Amino acid sequence: MTTDTWNGLRYRVTGRGRPVLLIHGIGRSLSDWDDQHERLSDFYQVWSVDLPGFGASQPPPHGMRLEHLAHLMADFIRGMDIGPVHLGGNSLGGAVAMQLTADHPGLVSSLLLANSAGFGRGVSPVLRLASIPGVGERLLRPSRKGSQRSEHAMYHDPRFATPARVQRGFDLAQRPGGTEAFLDMLRSLGSVAGVKSGWRRALTPRVRATGIPTFIVWGDKDAVLPFRHLKRGARMLRAATHRFPNTGHGPQIEQADEFARLARKFWDGVDQGDSMSFSPESKKPRGLQPFQFGVGSAVITGAASGIGRATAMNLAERGNDLALVDRDKTGLDAVKAELTRQHPGLVITTHEVDLAQPVDFDGLAAAVAAEHHRLSLLINNAGVALNGTVDEISMADLDWVLAINLRAPIAMTKSFLPYLQREHGAHIVNVSSLYGLVAPAGQSAYAASKFGIRGFTLALQSELIPRGIGVSVVHPGGIATNIARNSRTGSLLGNEEAQRRRAQFARFLTMPPERAAAQIVDAVAQRRERVLITRKAVLVDVISRVMPVNHRHYLARQLHKTR
């Protein structure tokens, strides 16, 4: 098979059709994908590339770091004009593929990971020792015997460590700068204690949040990265998986026919819009596809601050155009200015609306749709708090909290639904509260509004999910926003008592809104129907289920302790 070069990167391309890009592991080359070129080129345009610093490719100008390799791969996809691609990676190539997916999700259609780095600390003892300065240089000194050991470590069946593959490995090891690139890469990702946790824990949630369909395969006799990582990867990325029995670190070589069959089945499912139903053994539909960010626009209420602002920032990072709704014009303008500065290519519109007042919601939806031709996500986030027992609040207080927390999201849903229905796979998020799970004393009006939006959302799920629209209800518990400062207490309370209760409420608000927003966006990506944010919310949910009647006595005692 012939190869070519682009900007210092050696690559191979065969076949025609939808583009597939395959990335090899540490110290390896594009030759690891030769068998897949032969088996897949009748169905796809198959690309493989020598990673920068490996094979015959030049090292990256800024050092061997995961993000640098991913950036150069993104440049390659753009330079060849082949995106979005079905992306596959083995070992280090899997980690590069995940980094590329997280940093440039618009370039990736799907993610296939074979024995990928990134799902745990475990790694072979040889690679742990090689991370030690001085030791690694001696271990990786080029020799034919060393290349033979490395090739045998790749496979469970020693017959695959052919003389030709050993010779190719020896040739690569002698390449000027090859050992340095290997050790630089190895030491950036691992140490004598194993694969470093920092980059792993930062990367996998970002990959999962993209919602890009993912399939992980693993050889159960892998001597480089342990087979137990398969289960961890499935949990971290919510991915489909497959185990190759009696197979080592390179299933694309050792199980070439079965690997190609499974890859085709996965990619065909993605291309046909049926990625969520994929499993190696079945095509039975199992639910909505992952949400695709960057396709349509998102409408967010309460977007001038707090969770709404943080959610807008998060979605902009994923390429979503935004329609921001709030009564605070100054805050809206500030958010728009920041987003426009960071993402000049996005369409960002602001809509000054006071949800406590009578609103022409149909007119608002039409105005938003006129500037955003594709609406795919509605986040009803705006909310207010009202503290007071039923005899401490007035009917005007009650009307105020119900108008914003309950009536407005219902009206927004009704008015925007005709536009959302035009986008296959749209999604609606309604933000309830911890007090949509339990209703302690002093929260009669607020709990009524939040239980109301919870009930509305549950019914909405039954109505819309069968029609292809995802619906999530979110229960935050103690997010550090302006809700305490902007909250009301019953108008029949004295000022001193009102101030005391606001201060007490504020002590519960500890989680940064950015973390809450990340969990909401992740829930959209994965089509989760129910989201509990903060440990408080999880604990309260458990207590209310275990003690459906008596939980109020426990909660009353806990609240009393905070006074």
> How buried is residue 151: exposed, middle or buried, by Cβ count under 10 Å (0-12/13-18/19+)?
buried
Q: How far apart are CA 116 and CA 451, in angstroms?
A: 44
Question: Which among 227, 243, 240 has a CA at the least distance from the CA of 282?
Answer: 240
Backbone φ/ψ region at 337: left (φ over 0), alpha (ψ -120 to 50), beta: alpha
Question: Which residue in the list 11, 44, 435, 446 is annotated as catalytic?
Answer: 446
Question: Which among 84, 99, 108 has a CA at the least distance from the CA of 52?
Answer: 99
Contact 385, 448 (CB under 8 A): no
Which strands make up the sheet holding 9-14, listed edge to edge? 4-6, 9-14, 45-49, 19-23, 85-90, 108-114, 214-219, 240-244
> How buried is residue 550: exposed, middle or buried, by Cβ count under 10 Å (0-12/13-18/19+)?
exposed
Contact 82, 21 (CB under 8 A): yes
Contact 510, 499 (CB under 8 A): no
Q: How far apart are CA 77 and CA 9, in angstroms?
A: 12
Chain centroid to Cα 552, Å, comes to 36
Question: 419 an active-site residue?
Answer: no
**Which tokens is 370 given?**
């006129």
Question: Which among 375, 530, 357 has a CA at the least distance from the CA of 453?
Answer: 530
Question: Which among 546, 479, 465 has a CA at the least distance from the CA of 510?
Answer: 479
Residues with a known catalytic role: 446
